[in-house]
Amino acid sequence: MQKIDTIAVHAGQPNDEQTGAVTFPIFQTSTYGQTWPGEHKGYSYSRTANPTREALERCLAALEGGKHGLAFASGLAAATACVLTLQRGDHVIACNDLYGGVYRLFTQIFSKFGLEFSFVDAAAKPESVEAAIKPNTRLLWIETPSNPLLRITDIEPAAATARGHGIKTVVDNTFASPYLQNPLSLGADIVLHSTTKYLNGHADVIGGALVVNDDDLAEELHLYQNAAGGVPGPFDCFLTLRGIKTIGPRMERHCANASRIAEFLQQHPAVERVYYPGLESHPGHEIAARQQRYFGGMVSFDLRAVAEESKRFTTLTQVFTLAESLGAVKSLLCHPPSMTHACVAPNVRKQNGIGHNLVRLSVGIEDGEELIADLDQALAQVSVGRKLTAVSS
Ligand SMILES: *Cc1c(COP(=O)(O)O)cnc(C)c1O
């Protein structure tokens, strides 16, 4: 079996037989000629199948150590396909520190169709998963490391509990990327990615993916991919395949830079608390050390400042760009309560520990020292305010 760095460059994308081209071609076509009605070379319409998309799907499956990969137009289109496996009256247990868009998909859209959702603290209280199981529970939804607080859920026991009750487990592996963690090997049934993030890695594509081992589940998901139609175009698939080739070196640099930045922030007087699984003080450190290859490229922290001052801080950096999203070569920062998590109700945000003084960094692959210098000069401009007690319990 090939190792992950070789898989990233080779899997699913052989050199072109006709021309020897070493890069898999972009089949920018919507349809395919047929020799007789219904007789074709395996391709009839590009929503159903496209060779460039298939190359990406084979590569994604190989990266996760899974059998079947499915590419989608966005991470949320991939999440939608997972939920479409359910029926009216089914119940989903999800961790409470979810990506805001997934939370919105559950609570504002699928709750209208007779699905029930419970949110539990699967990271700090693993027993809360079993306690939330009902006779109609069909899906357990885990995100680890979670967004934005980088909480770590121990996937193996959670998935085992779910399996014991006939419940399928979805792991949103976007923050870790397949380079750091492979949930199928820990008992998950479906791995979900927003390929927009680390997989593509260059902030120039929106995309999503699912990887599964089970043949029947793959067939069902293929139906939703084709019949609901949330598919990516060939050029986006090409760009994602191109991005994936460097996932190894990128992730190593993301993680090394993030780790240095977390340590720098931890000793800074304007910083109240740092959330990074690589820090020994992080409650999920030991699980992350066992479950992940490295600790990741995301760092969040509470500023010792009031809300307005925390927002102002995010405008003071020069290398970090104030923007949503993550996982790109270019460093980004954001203020989750007013950006990525603005669609989560304020009381729910508060309950989940997302305070007004929270800042999230997506640490890029630039020079680590220059990134630290940038944060240092921005922190120097913040007026350290009253400690907000409601925010970081
Ligand atoms: C971005 C993201 C998504 C949604 O993906 P899109 O590509 O933006 O649709 C889902 N989960 C996580 C953890 C994400 O970061």
Give me the phi and psi of 160, to 5 degrees please.
Answer: -65, -40
Instruction: Please give the number of the atom of ligand 1 that sits closest to the Cα of 208.
Output: 7
Nearest residue by C-alpha to atom 5 in ligand 1: 75
Distances (CA, A) of 379 to 219, 234, 313: 51, 43, 7
Q: Which residues are catalytic?
A: 47, 99, 172, 197
- Determine the distance separating the centroid of ligand 1 and the alpha carbon of 325, expressed in angstroms: 8
Distance (Å) of CA 332 to CA 55, 166, 167, 338, 339 = 30, 40, 37, 15, 13
Query: Does the beta carbon of 282 sit less than 6 angstroms from any atom of ligand 1?
Result: no
Dihedral-angle region of residue 42 (phi above 0 means left; psi in -120 to 50 means alpha; beta otherwise):
left
Ramachandran angles phi, psi of 142, nearest 5°: -115, 140
Is the Cβ atom of 147 under 6 angstroms away from ligand 1? Answer: yes
Cα(99) to ligand 1 centroid in Å equals 7
Give every CB contact of residue 288 below 8 A, 6+ residues apart in sequence. Answer: 145, 152, 277, 278, 282, 295
Instruction: Evaluate: CB of 102 within 6 angstroms of ligand 1.
Output: yes
Residue 123 structure tokens: 């990271």
Residue 105 class from Cβ within 10 Å (0-12 exposed, 13-18 middle, 19+ buried)?
middle
Contacting residues for 325 by C-beta, under 8 A, at least 6 apart: 196, 197, 203, 332, 362
Q: Ligand 1 atom 8: the closest Cα is on which residue?
A: 75
Ligand 1 proximity of 75 Cβ (cutoff 6 Å): yes
Please name which of 317, 304, 393 lies closest in space to residue 362, comparing C-alpha atoms: 317
Q: Whose CA is nearest to atom 4 of ligand 1?
A: 75
Q: Give the dihedral sign, CA 194/197/199/200.
A: positive
Counting DSSP H helices and E strands in the chain, the numbers are 13, 12
Please give the distance, rounded to the nearest whole angstrom, from the Cα atom of residue 177 to the centre of ligand 1.
Answer: 12
Residues lower than pLDDT 70 in the chain: 1, 385-393
Residue 251 Cβ inside 6 Å of ligand 1? The answer reads no
Element spanning 362, H or E: strand 358-362
Q: DSSP for 282-298?
A: STTHHHHHHH-SS--SE
The 8-class DSSP code of residue 261 comes to H
Ligand 1 binding pocket includes 174 (Cβ within 6 Å): yes
For ligand 1, whether the C-beta of 141 sits within 6 Å is no
Q: How far is the CA of 38 from the centre of ligand 1 (A)?
A: 37
* Ligand 1 atom having least distance to the Cα of 98: 13
Q: What is the pLDDT of residue 342?
A: 84
Say what the pLDDT of residue 307 is: 85
The answer to whether 83 and 27 have CB atoms below 8 angstroms apart is no
The ligand 1 atom nearest the CA atom of 206: 7
CATH number, span 247-383 = 3.90.1150.10
The H-assigned helical ranges of 283-367 are: 285-291, 307-313, 346-351
For 5-31, letters b (16+ CB in 10 Å) and e give: eebbeebbbeeeeeeeeeebebbeeee
User: Which tokens is 156 given?
Assistant: 């193996």
Domain ranges across the chain: 4-244, 247-383
Do residues 371 and 259 make contact, with C-beta atoms less than 8 angstroms apart? no
For ligand 1, the distance from its centroid to the CA atom of residue 374, given in whole angstroms, is: 27
Equal CATH topology for 4-244 and 247-383: no
What is the whole-number distance in angstroms between the Cα of residue 155 and the centre of ligand 1? 19
C-alpha dihedral (164, 209, 344, 306), degrees to nearest 10: 110
Q: Which atom of ligand 1 is nearest to the CA of 78?
A: 9
- Residue of 82, 102, 334 with the most ligand 1 atoms within 8 Å of its CB, for mutation: 102
pLDDT, tens only, 21-72: 999 999 999 999 999 999 999 999 999 999 999 999 999 999 999 999 999 9
For domain 4-244, give the fold.
Aspartate Aminotransferase; domain 2 (3.40.640)
d(CA 154, CA 285): 11
Expressed in angstroms and rounded, the spacing between residue 103 Cα and the centre of ligand 1 is 11
**Strand, coil or helix: 366:** coil
175 within 8 A of 143, measured Cβ to Cβ: yes
Task: Give strand pairing partners of 351.
Answer: none
The ligand 1 atom at the shortest distance from the C-alpha of residue 196 is 7
